[in-house]
Copies of this chain bind each other. A is one copy, B any other.
Amino acid sequence: MINVRRRATLGLIAGAVGVAAVTGVTVNANAAESAAPRAAVASKGDVVANPSLDIDAALSAAEATLKAAEKGGHRVTVVVLDRSGDVQVQLKGDGAGPQTAESATRKAFTAVSFGQPTSALSARVTGPGATLRDIPGTLFLAGGVPVSVDGQVVGAIGVGGAPSGDLDEQYANAGANTLR
């Protein structure tokens, strides 16, 4: 089942959302009749949809992650990325170190890119030669957890700042569990 927010955003199913709302540009309803330049119109048949968590779900998961870390007495930054690797939510807990934003972002990027928790991927990045670690933007320390719907990865949660990656992952999972 698909919730109301999603339908409204997708537009392909529930109906059109004006260009203005999407882009911050007000397009008068009568613009179609004017000579003003407009967006080219494509057929629905030419479109794919990339699913992501909606912002409410992403924020709930991030908050639960941060609360779990605070409860554990650790100061962390939490990042939720969408399927494109863009930041949906970033929360820097009080006192979190200057390296935590980057760590959390890269762990989430790694998880959303490879579809597994970073802890499960660590075995794939050992050895004396080239590994996936060499791909820019990745970080294969524990603390990145992908999120999926119907078997498809839709985003990831990353945490940095706890004394160990295992703890970072535990907090990320605490957040992810709010999505079930």
Binding site for B on A (CB under 8 A): 1-3, 5-6, 9-12, 15-27, 36-57, 59, 63, 66, 73-76, 82-95, 97-103, 106, 109, 111-117, 119-120, 122-123, 125-141, 145-154, 157, 160-164, 173, 176-177, 179-180
Contact = CB atoms under 8 A, between A and B. Distances in A.
Given A48-B10, A73-B21, A134-B139, A97 B120 contact: no
Contacts of A59: 63, 91
Contacts of A25: 114-116, 163
20 contacts: A3-B47, A9-B50, A18-B151, A21-B74, A24-B76, A24-B160, A24-B164, A39-B116, A40-B145, A40-B180, A46-B54, A48-B54, A50-B50, A50-B95, A86-B92, A86-B101, A87-B101, A97-B112, A128-B128, A134-B140
A138 B149 CA distance: 34
Given A21-B73, A39-B145, 17 more contacts: A9-B94, A10-B50, A11-B152, A18-B151, A19-B151, A21-B75, A22-B97, A24-B162, A26-B163, A43-B180, A47-B53, A48-B52, A55-B93, A84-B98, A99-B109, A122-B129, A135-B139
B117 A98 contact: no
Contact of A16 (B42, B63, B93, B152): B152
A131 to B, nearest CB: 8
A161 B24 contact: yes
